[in-house]
Amino acid sequence: MYGPFPGARPAGLRRRSLPAGTELWRIDGSDPAVWDWGGFPTTRFRFDPASGAFRVRYAGTSIVGAAREKYLDTGRLIPADHAKKHLVHLIATRPIKVVDLRTQANLEALDVDDRVNTSHEDLVWEACHRLADAMPRWWAELDGIAYRSRTTPRASMNVAFFSLDGFEIEASRELDTFVNELDELVLHHQFTIAFPY
């Protein structure tokens, strides 16, 4: 388990499509118009490729899911210096092809377990980084990886996506301008906002 991944796509590993109209939410330091898709020299996040060959970005299928993932480590405190970060709302304009790591069949085909979705163990993260490199090798047309949310598994999933191809930017504004959405996080999801809005 969690050994090297084969050069050829493992038998039983399946791709699925998220339907056109699927919504993704992301909190980012910049507007999508200036996003760089070049990889990091060293991995930072779960599905960053070990090779650094390309950039992966992460989003949730609900605004609450995206915010809870982003601010889990701060105890749902959105810091003052995040007021000008961008809340980005993407909508799929076509079916989005992903490998879904929430399915038992795909976990078994990869010889991994559910820790691939949420664990921060070094062994698991190293496997996730290698897996990100393997996926585009196994499928020429792949938009990303769907995986289980640590914080809202029943209401939202996460998607690690490889480009904006297939997405329309529905909105991208500074976080402190999303008044209704921030009110929802505070009033119904136990968030604290450390800046005026």
* Number of domains within the chain: 1
Residue 174 lies in a domain: yes
Q: Does residue 5 sit within a domain?
A: no
For residue 27, give its domain range: 15-193
Nearest-10 Cα torsion for 126, 85, 37, 146:
50
Q: What is the pLDDT of residues 119-161, one digit of tens each?
A: 999 999 999 999 999 999 999 999 999 999 988 777 789 999 9
- Residue 186 exposed, middle or buried by CB count within 10 Å (0-12, 13-18, 19+): middle
Note the pLDDT tens digit of each residue in 89-119: 999 999 999 999 999 999 999 999 999 999 9
Residue 10 lies in a domain: no
Domain CATH for 77: 3.90.175
